Amino acid sequence: MYSSIWQQLMSCHLFWYNTTAMSDKRINNSIFIMFLLSGAYCAAHNISTKEFLALDDKYAILNYIAECPDVFDSMTEEEMVKEIDEYVKGV
């Protein structure tokens, strides 16, 4: 189930690493949060990984998470899902 998401996360990781001055710790934290949130989002909305990745292609959800990982760091999974729902509605 998670292999596609993992590939997407690693792709994002390589992009950020090559384009930003983020520390390895912050990049790893971002990837971990994206991984947790993608699973929580799929479970909350009863969607497949493929459907989540289609939403990500349309709304750049993983990039949004990567831009502000500190915000998500202190949230519960339910709060993270709600934040992503609000982000998608606003895009």
pLDDT digits (tens, 9 = 90+) for 17-27: 555 566 788 88
Cα–Cα nearest to 62, from 25, 12, 21, 1: 12
What pLDDT score does 23 carry? 77
What pLDDT score does 25 carry? 82
CA distances from 36 to 19, 56, 57 (A): 24, 15, 18
Confidence of residue 1 (pLDDT cuts 50, 70, 90): very low
pLDDT digits (tens, 9 = 90+) for 45-83: 999 999 999 999 999 999 998 888 888 988 999 999 999
pLDDT digits (tens, 9 = 90+) for 36-52: 999 999 999 999 999 99
Q: How far apart, in whole angstroms, are the C-alpha atoms of residue 82 and residue 80? A: 5
User: What is the pTM (predicted TM-score) of this model?
Assistant: 0.75
Domain ranges across the chain = 3-90
